[in-house]
Chains A and B, each alone.
Chain A
Amino acid sequence: QEWLVESGGGSVKSGGSLRLSCGASGFRFGDYYMSWIRQAPGKGLEWISFITSSGTFTKYADSVMGRFTVSRDNAKNLLFLQMNNLRGDDTGVYYCARELDGIDVWGQGTTVSVSS
């Protein structure tokens, strides 16, 4: 069984930082591209970042470019999202997900709440 488990969410003031982690199990983590996707309260899904299997290439949505950084540790089966200069519109549930002909494995999500 393939699992992804996110952690690191919480409440933070506008301008603050958080680091999300995602632990993978049940599959060869280092073989897969991984993405971070978020969902604002009552809204749809928004892709925000992906990282290649080796970690050498990353890409970001315009909404988080320059503020968020994705990274991974394949030896420890971990994916990270460093979030700086957080804003109110960053509030939502953050999911890590595996890419395979789509986005096939999702974590349960971790909630980020940014207040002013």
Chain B
Amino acid sequence: QAGLTQPPSMSNDLGQTATLTCTGNNNNVGNEGASWLQQHQGHPPKLLSYRKNNRPSGVSQRFSASRSGNTASLTITGLQPDDEADYYCVAWDSTLSFWVFGGGTKLTV
């Protein structure tokens, strides 16, 4: 079943800014946007942003989400060691009528 496209890996330095991307189509990301999840090794995913790009309470302002057309982005500023994790995007596909995930981006800091 179709999924969203994310680069498999990315590496950035401490204190720098990382921008992760997630590409879908008009039926998913381009329709209602994508939300972003962070997963540290051995832990469950944690929501970083809702589809409307707003953050849940408790999530650092260093994480911000946006969308342009069929591509969603997650920007992480002031990279810290604990930001090293896997990041997943997820969107509702209105044609398939279920959630589709990206393959995840492994961020190395």
A interface residues (Cβ-Cβ under 8 A, vs B)? 35, 37, 44-47, 50, 59, 61-63, 95, 100-109
Min CB distance, A111 to chain B, in Å? 11
CA separation between A100 and B52, bound complex, in Å? 11
- 10 closest pairs, A vs B, by CB? A102-B35, A47-B99, A101-B50, A106-B44, A44-B104, A45-B101, A104-B47, A102-B50, A44-B103, A102-B51
Complex contact A103–B44 (CB within 8 A) = no
Pull 19 A–B residue pairs with CB atoms less than 8 Å apart, ordered by A: A44-B86, A44-B104, A45-B37, A45-B45, A45-B88, A46-B101, A47-B99, A47-B100, A47-B101, A50-B98, A59-B97, A100-B50, A102-B47, A102-B49, A103-B37, A103-B90, A103-B99, A104-B47, A104-B50
**A residues within 8 A CB of B97?**
59
B interface residues (Cβ-Cβ under 8 A, vs A)? 1, 35, 37, 44-47, 49-52, 56, 86, 88, 90, 97-104
Complex contact B98–A61 (CB within 8 A) = yes
> Interface majority SS on B: helix, strand, loop or mixed?
strand
Pick from A45, A62, A103, A106: contact of B35, CB below 8 A.
Answer: A103
Min CB distance, A34 to chain B, in Å? 12
CA separation between A63 and B1, bound complex, in Å? 9
CA separation between A103 and B51, bound complex, in Å? 9
Min CB distance, A2 to chain B, in Å? 10
CA separation between A105 and B37, bound complex, in Å? 11
Closest to B48 in A: A102
**A residues within 8 A CB of B44?**
95, 106-109
Complex contact A45–B98 (CB within 8 A) = no
Given A44-B88, A106-B44, A106-B45, A50 and B99 touching (CB < 8 A)? Answer: yes
Given A44-B88, A47-B98, A104 and B56 touching (CB < 8 A)? Answer: yes
